[in-house]
Amino acid sequence: MPPVIDKEKCIGCGACEEICPGDLMEIDEHENKAFCRANRDCWDCMACVKECPNGAIETRIPYQLGYYPAKLIPKKREKEIEWTIIDINANVEKLIVETRNK
């Protein structure tokens, strides 16, 4: 599922553009907001979601894995990533995973 950008939160910093391994994220010249230039080519690595300093990007969980409004939200920290999992019943679970950047 391609990333969804909240235009109100996006500040056009370009962090998503720099981190995208598929070179799919761009900043619109007129609006100065991020967008995915080839949605069908996105493989849901969530690098852009983790890198966005304003939390303006999210990906939708494919229906095969969880129904709307289920969410998987990563938040990058200095030496770890916090994953927030919200299931279809609004139950929240958080997982902390250390990164290799120790």
Query: What confidence tens digit (pLDDT) does each residue in 21-43 have?
Result: 999 999 999 999 999 999 889 98
Beta-bridge partner residues of 92 = 86
Residues with a known catalytic role: 43
Average pLDDT, the chain: 87
Structural domains in the chain, CATH included, are: 1-59 (3.30.70.20), 61-102 (no CATH)
The answer, as to whether pTM is greater than 0.75, is: no
